[in-house]
Amino acid sequence: MLRIYQELTRQAAADRPGLIVWPETASPTALRRDVVLQRTLATMSAEMRIPLLVGSIDVLEGTPRRFTNTAFLVTDRGIVGRYDKIHLVPFGEYVPLSRVIGFVRGWAEFIADLEPGSRAVVFPGPPAPFGVVICYEGIFPDLFRTFVNNGARLMVNMTNDGWFGRTSGPPQHLGMYPFRAVEHRIAIVRAANTGISAFIAPTGQIFHHLGLYQRGTITEWVPLRQGRTLFTRLGDWVAWAALVLAAASVGVAARRNPCSAS
């Protein structure tokens, strides 16, 4: 697995990109505890003069052992930054109300027990300040908006869609991200282990993609966010305004047409 990712990384480096993105949990070991892999990635980054964004499970200090789903930024200096996934997948990465229904973990071996992150981290770059949403976090507009308000001028989505196989899951998952791009007029770079990897323009257009189970790399120039949209500033103000207007309209109609007693 690592040999494949390293070969693809060197292929991508030939185009001299500002950042190379690996998918979610691409590292088969806990990167922060794998000194050899850290050294290998740092050496690659130094030789290519390109930072690497690598997905990995992390093991936190302390007892009992706790785990996170993490994006690590690696340069020639080693690990220089991290983002821990905030919105974990229920019944996949944790069990909701585990004290009450924790027994369901015994029903399926794939249910993990991860710790959620707490901060919408914006990496300073290079190539520019960017945020990362892991897996399905991009379906949450408020979380995505937090990264943009924290200064992200580019967004990255790294995901492991291998769970879905050759189903409608991967294209449906990809279909969420044009909405996020349009809401903030921000470009999105997406790296998926089995596909669909893609570049999404601030207009929502998917202008370059690598399909399901197609091994390869894609490289593109993407524009950086220039300003803040109304949605970036105010969030779901349109929906709330529409709700207030609808309630007011119903109230006015009820006062004008009171029901007569029979």
> What are the catalytic residues?
24, 85, 135
Q: SS in 3 state form for 144-160?
A: HHHHHHCCCCEEEEEEC
In one-letter notation, the amino acid at residue 134 is I
Please report which helix (H) or strand (E) contains residue 66, including its range: strand 66-75
Q: 129: cis peptide before it, omega within 30°?
A: no
Is the CB of residue 24 less than 8 Å from the CB of residue 60? no
* Phi, psi of 115, deg, nearest 5: -95, 135
Q: Residue 72: phi, psi to the nearest 5?
A: -105, 135
134 vs 136: CA distance, rounded Å? 6
| Spatial separation of the C-alpha atoms in residues 169 and 174, rounded to whole Å | 9
Over the range 125-144, which residues count as b (16 or more CB within 10 Å of their CB) and which as e?
eeebbbbbbbbbbbbebebb
